[in-house]
Amino acid sequence: MVGLLFLLSLAVFFLFNLLPFDPARLTCGKVCTPQLLEQNRHRLGLDLPPWDQYLAFVRGIFFGRIYAPDQPFPIVCHAPCLGYSFLRHAEVTTLIARALPVTLWLTLGGFIVWITFGVVGGIVAALRRGRWQDRVLMTVALFGYSMPSFFIGLLLIFFVILQLQWLPFPSASAVQAGPFANPVKFFQTMILPWLVIAILNAAFYVRLTRNQVLETFGEDYVRTARAKGLPERTVVVKHALRAGLTPIVTAAGLDIAYLMGGAIITESIFSLPGMGSLSVNAVTNYDLPLITGVVLVAGIFIIAMNLIVDLLYGFLDPRVRIG
Amino acid sequence: MSTVHAAKGVSSGATEVPERPFLSVENLSVKFPTEDGLVQAVDGVSLTIEQGKTLAIVGESGSGKSVTAQAIMGLIDRRTARMSGQVWLDGQELMGLPMPDLQAIRGSQIAMIFQDPMSSLHPFYRIGDQIIEAIRVHRSVSKKQARKETIDMLRRVGIPAVERRVDDFPHQLSGGMRQRVMIAMALINSPRLLIADEPTTALDVTVQAQIMELIASIQDEFKITVILITHDLGVVADVADEVAVMYGGRVVERATTAALYLKPEMPYTLGLLSSIPRMDKEMDRLDPIPGNPPSPINLPKGCVFQPRCAYWERVPDDLCKTTRPELLATVPDHMVRCHLEPEVRREISASVLSVLSGGRS
Ligand SMILES: Nc1ncnc2c1ncn2[C@@H]1O[C@H](COP(=O)(O)OP(=O)(O)OP(=O)(O)O)[C@@H](O)[C@H]1O
Ligand code: SF4
Ligand SMILES: [Mg+2]
């Protein structure tokens, strides 16, 4: 785990800092004399050899960091310092800390909606396999699965906000303030993004859940459950689904992890200032410290969710637990 | 509908319809449409058992034993299989029952033990909880009471250190122990009919005898009616009152256990008897029946056993190749499905049996 994080930081740092861009050049401005460039390079710590730059970066994460302390107006970057965005004149950590809750709410709400619809829909499809309920669900799922998110998003904005005016325009500040400051505005803003994320994912989870249930239907212990006289609902949920839950949990864990790195398209369409918007911004402006920070945080989420999923396996499957 | 029935009843004579035996399977057919064709798993099977008796169903792999058993319990998916016939349990017809009524009967009136105890218990739930669940679907008792009953029953089927074992997961138990758990689960609601589908096939030889003993003692103790499915005629003699031999999805011979061992008539039964291992005889190799069971998709047109039968040429007009024999009484309580004349069958049977018994004595 720790080793993995170390490798991740190494990879991310060198990947983005050995690119053929000169960050000093980018922050130098229009009239850039060689002197100014050199001075900039020193301020950014870019005059150090790459390995030292990396060490400074890692040290910054734990102890904070001061850029160019020998200069007037040194820049202080507090621990955990993921770097300093000279383009935005802000600490990367601060930028991420501002964007992360937005993405967190987006992911959390979307997840609740999609897992509910996905699993319930999958169970219904499995229970009514071969009948019209199953066919309708699978067709809808196929549509949801194959529709691009920007299309669903724009469709929703067009109809729900512009045409029908059921909802006001999304409010970035309401989202940043969180659900407790102004719950009504928060939910009004988040409902459509949640739906977009949910439609995309639920479609996959309907199919996954249905397949898992139908697959375990062939198992002997499901036949035992029926032979006990359990109602079909219990057979499906408590016995068949329970046994096929592992792949669903795995998929959910990874999907959450990916979303925590930023739902780029959804966030852009609804102008939500989350991790997705932040990374788009960083990339289009060649803001290397910011890119490094965002990718590192996204990677941390993926590693962490993998760990959580592994722990859940033990919780789900007693054979893993006791060995 | 009922008037038609009544009219038929009158026209067929004034004699009273005899009461149905405790369990009566009448003309049961189960067919599975598959991509390769229609699988005729069970075709026109009729069986009866009196209360408290044990019926053994014997036959090679694929002869339709499990499908018959599962059809009796309503475990065949009605959506994918084509089923016809009737199953009467104590005066109630089961095949036509709506699902909820059937569920009320499963596990309370009819219980089943399966071939593979390794996979028949849910791997994610504690064995005690799985039995408690079986209690509480059918009876509204407290969890505490159900647990007490569970522990008592587990002890009765011979699980050691029950208080500790009750909270084990299936993978922590041996195959024999798991089958005991399955038996405890089957018995927990005092069912009236127990179907044991090859309960020992998947177990070690030493454990097999123990489980068979347990089933026999349960039969004594609970006065339960038992259908014992097996492909091993050897285990049948000790426990069964009657035997039905199945081949190619149908019953080919049905008799009391004694009659089946001493006076078998159907050539297939003779073949089965010849392949029982005998401790008392020093035979190098048993005589397994030559050939393979028929494919349930392409059953022979005539007698389903004809391709493997050594005697079909003794029936005139190639009848065995063209016409399905009926299951007919040869003597009272002994039904045989074979075109051979009864005298010829008995002659063949006598000579085969004398060879089997060594021909020395
Ligand atoms: N769901 C199904 N779909 C298609 N064919 C099936 C299905 N269930 C059983 N069969 C077929 O029906 C035939 C009878 O199967 P069954 O399980 O009753 O045999 P069996 O006598 O119990 O054999 P074994 O000793 O191997 O358990 C087999 O050929 C089997 O392949
Ligand atoms: S009917 Fe003919 S083929 Fe079938 S068992 Fe009898 S003799 Fe053999
Ligand atoms: Mg079987």
DSSP per residue over A204-234, as a string? HHHHHHHHHHHHHHTSHHHHHHHHTT--HHH
Q: From the candidates A213, A215, A221, A312, which should be mutated to test the interface with B, based on the most B CB atoms within 10 A?
A: A221
Nearest C-alpha of chain A: how many angstroms from B236? 24
| Residues with C-beta less than 6 Å from any ligand 2 atom | B 267, 303, 305-306, 309, 311-312, 315, 320, 325, 338-340
Q: How far apart are CA B84 and CA B299, in angstroms?
A: 19
Contacts of residue B164, Cβ cutoff 8 Å, sequence gap at least 6: none
Most confident of the ranges A30-39, B114-123, B234-243? B114-123
> Is the same domain home to A137 and A240?
yes
> Is the same domain home to A111 and A39?
no
Nearest C-alpha of chain A: how many angstroms from B59? 22
Q: How far apart are CA A172 and CA A267, in angstroms?
A: 10
pLDDT digits (tens, 9 = 90+) for A69-96: 777 778 888 888 888 888 888 899 999 9
> Is the same domain home to A138 and A56?
no
Q: How far apart are CA A298 and CA A259, in angstroms?
A: 9
**Residue B22 or residue A177, greater confidence:** B22
- In the block, residue with structure tokens 């029908």: A164
- The whole-number pLDDT of residue B281 equals 52
Tell me the one-letter amino acid at A15: L
> Is the same domain home to A129 and A44?
no
- Domain tally for chain A? 2
Chain A positions touching B73 (Cβ under 8 A) are: 227
- The whole-number pLDDT of residue B6 equals 42
* End position of a domain, from candidates A81, A113, A140: A81
Nearest C-alpha of chain B: how many angstroms from A135? 16
- The whole-number pLDDT of residue B358 equals 67
**B76 in A contact zone (CB under 8 Å):** no
Q: Are A267 and A106 in contact (CB under 8 A)?
A: yes
* CA-based nearest residue to A265, from A162, A147, A178, A141: A147
> Is the same domain home to A167 and A70?
no
Q: Are B164 and B196 in contact (CB under 8 A)?
A: no
**Residue B237 or residue B104, greater confidence:** B104
- The whole-number pLDDT of residue A48 equals 81
Q: Read off the pTM.
A: 0.84
pLDDT digits (tens, 9 = 90+) for A272-313: 899 999 999 898 888 888 988 999 999 999 999 999 999 998
In a domain, A62, yes or no: yes
**Residue A318 or residue B340, greater confidence:** B340
pLDDT > 70? residue A107? yes
Q: CA triplet B203, B204, B210: central angle to 5 degrees?
A: 80
- In the block, residue with structure tokens 């949990």: A249
> Is the same domain home to A104 and A74?
no
pLDDT digits (tens, 9 = 90+) for A228-243: 999 999 999 999 999 9
User: Between B103, B122, B123, which is nearest A229 by CB?
Assistant: B103
* CA-based nearest residue to A204, from A246, A270, A252: A252
- The whole-number pLDDT of residue B279 equals 54
- In the block, residue with structure tokens 């034993």: B65
- Whether residues A229 and B171 touch (CB distance < 8 A) is answered with no
Query: How close is the Cα of B134 to the center of ligand 3, in Å?
Result: 23
φ, ψ at B38 (rounded to 5°): -85, 120
In a domain, A258, yes or no: yes
* End position of a domain, from candidates A47, A81, A115: A81
Please tell me which residue of chain B has the smallest CA distance to A220: B120
* CA-based nearest residue to A129, from A199, A215, A200, A202: A215
- Whether residues A130 and B134 touch (CB distance < 8 A) is answered with no
- Whether residues A319 and B99 touch (CB distance < 8 A) is answered with no
Q: Are A215 and A270 in contact (CB under 8 A)?
A: no
pLDDT > 90? residue A19? no
In a domain, A93, yes or no: no
| Ligand 1 pocket, residue B41 CB under 6 Å | yes
Q: Are B355 and B346 in contact (CB under 8 A)?
A: no
Compute how many other C-beta atoms are within 10 angstroms of the C-beta atom of residue B193: 21
In a domain, A114, yes or no: yes
Query: How close is the Cα of B15 to the center of ligand 2, in Å?
Result: 36
Q: Are A298 and A275 in contact (CB under 8 A)?
A: yes
Most confident of the ranges A142-151, A273-282, B6-15, B138-147? B138-147
Show the tokens assigned to B4: 């038609």
Query: How close is the Cα of B308 to the center of ligand 1, in Å?
Result: 20
User: Between B79, B133, B171, which is nearest A228 by CB?
Assistant: B133
Residue % of chain B over a pLDDT of 70: 91
In a domain, A307, yes or no: yes
Banded model confidence at residue B26, pLDDT cuts 50, 70, 90:
very high
| Ligand 1 pocket, residue B219 CB under 6 Å | no
Tell me the one-letter amino acid at B167: D
**B185 in A contact zone (CB under 8 Å):** yes
For a mutational test of ligand 2's pocket, the pick from B299, B303, B319, i.e. the residue with the most ligand atoms closer than 8 A to its C-beta, is B303
pLDDT > 80? residue B80? yes
Q: How far apart are CA B270 and CA B311, in angstroms?
A: 12
In this predicted structure, which of A95-109, A231-245, B144-158, B275-289 has the lowest mean pLDDT?
Answer: B275-289
In a domain, A86, yes or no: no
Eight-class DSSP state of B20 = P
Query: How close is the Cα of B154 to the center of ligand 3, in Å?
Result: 26
pLDDT digits (tens, 9 = 90+) for A116-128: 999 999 999 988 8
The Cα-based distances of A69 to A34, A48, A65, B320 in angstroms read 21, 14, 9, 104
Query: How close is the Cα of A228 to the center of ligand 3, in Å?
Result: 19
- Whether residues B114 and A224 touch (CB distance < 8 A) is answered with yes
The Cα-based distances of A265 to A193, A197, A286, B270 in angstroms read 10, 10, 19, 75
Query: How close is the Cα of B72 to the center of ligand 3, in Å?
Result: 14
| Closest ligand to residue B65's CA | 1
| Closest ligand to residue B252's CA | 2
pLDDT digits (tens, 9 = 90+) for A109-161: 999 999 999 999 999 998 888 889 889 988 888 888 788 878 888 888 888 88
Q: How far apart are CA A100 and CA A96, in angstroms?
A: 6
**Residue A46 or residue B142, greater confidence:** B142
pLDDT > 70? residue B150? yes
Mean pLDDT of B179-183: 95
- The whole-number pLDDT of residue B311 equals 93
Q: Are B186 and B113 in contact (CB under 8 A)?
A: yes
Residues from A contacting B (CB-CB < 8 Å) are 129-130, 219-221, 223-232, 234, 239, 242-243, 316-319, 322
* CATH code for the domain in which residue A110 is found: 1.10.3720.10
The Cα-based distances of B218 to B20, B52, B203, B240 in angstroms read 25, 11, 19, 13
Strand stretches in A187-256, DSSP E? none
Banded model confidence at residue A21, pLDDT cuts 50, 70, 90:
low
Tell me the one-letter amino acid at A174: A
> Is the same domain home to A121 and A187?
yes
Chain A positions touching B108 (Cβ under 8 A) are: 229
Show the tokens assigned to A103: 């993405």
pLDDT > 70? residue A264? yes
> Is the same domain home to A136 and A266?
yes
> Is the same domain home to A10 and A38?
yes
Mean pLDDT of A256-285: 88
Chain B positions touching A317 (Cβ under 8 A) are: 123-124
Banded model confidence at residue B359, pLDDT cuts 50, 70, 90:
low
Residue B320 CA, closest ligand 2 atom number: 2
Domain range spanning residue A12?
Answer: 2-81
pLDDT > 80? residue B179? yes
- Whether residues B105 and A223 touch (CB distance < 8 A) is answered with no
* CA-based nearest residue to B48, from B90, B77, B6, B76: B90
pLDDT > 80? residue A24? no
φ, ψ at B289 (rounded to 5°): -65, 125
- Which uninterrupted H or E stretch holds B251? strand B250-256
Angle between helices A92-127 and A132-146 (to 10 degrees): 160
User: Between A231, A316, A318, which is nearest B103 by CB?
Assistant: A231
**Residue A80 preceded by cis peptide, ω within 30:** yes
- In the block, residue with structure tokens 């870019």: A46
The Cα-based distances of B308 to A24, B155, B316 in angstroms read 90, 47, 17
Q: Are B156 and B184 in contact (CB under 8 A)?
A: yes
- Whether residues A242 and B124 touch (CB distance < 8 A) is answered with yes
Q: From the candidates B80, B103, B164, B227, which should be mutated to test the interface with A, based on the most A CB atoms within 10 A?
A: B103
Please tell me which residue of chain A has the smallest CA distance to B121: A221
Query: Across all residues in chain B, what is the average pLDDT?
Result: 89
Count Cα neighbours of A153 within 13 Å in the Cβ-side half-sphere: 20
* Residue with CA at minimum distance from ligand 1 atom 31: B62
Please tell me which residue of chain A has the smallest CA distance to B182: A224
> Is the same domain home to A168 and A314?
yes
- Whether residues B123 and A319 touch (CB distance < 8 A) is answered with yes
Q: Are A204 and A111 in contact (CB under 8 A)?
A: no
CB contacts < 8 A, A to B, total: 76
**Residue A232 or residue B12, greater confidence:** A232
Residue B70 CA, closest ligand 1 atom number: 18
Tell me the one-letter amino acid at A271: S
List, in sequence order, every residue forming a beta bridge with B247; answer none if it has no partner.
B250
ipTM of the complex: 0.86
| Ligand 1 pocket, residue B153 CB under 6 Å | no
Chain A positions touching B182 (Cβ under 8 A) are: 224
In a domain, A91, yes or no: no
> Is the same domain home to A228 and A271?
yes
- In the block, residue with structure tokens 């063209």: B322
User: Between A221, A230, A317, which is nearest B119 by CB?
Assistant: A221
- The whole-number pLDDT of residue A148 equals 81
Q: How far apart are CA A115 and CA A201, in angstroms?
A: 8
Work out whether strand B225-230 and strand B54-58 pair parallel, antiparallel, or are unpaired.
Answer: parallel
- Whether residues A224 and B120 touch (CB distance < 8 A) is answered with yes
Query: Across all residues in chain A, what is the average pLDDT?
Result: 86
**B198 Rama sector, left if φ>0, alpha if ψ -120 to 50, beta otherwise:** left
List, in sequence order, every residue forming a beta bridge with B188; answer none if it has no partner.
none
In a domain, A162, yes or no: yes
Q: How far apart are CA B233 and CA A300, in angstroms?
A: 64
pLDDT > 70? residue B273? yes
Most confident of the ranges A37-51, A274-288, A308-322, B273-287? A274-288
* Residue with CA at minimum distance from ligand 1 atom 19: B62
> Is the same domain home to A316 and A233?
yes
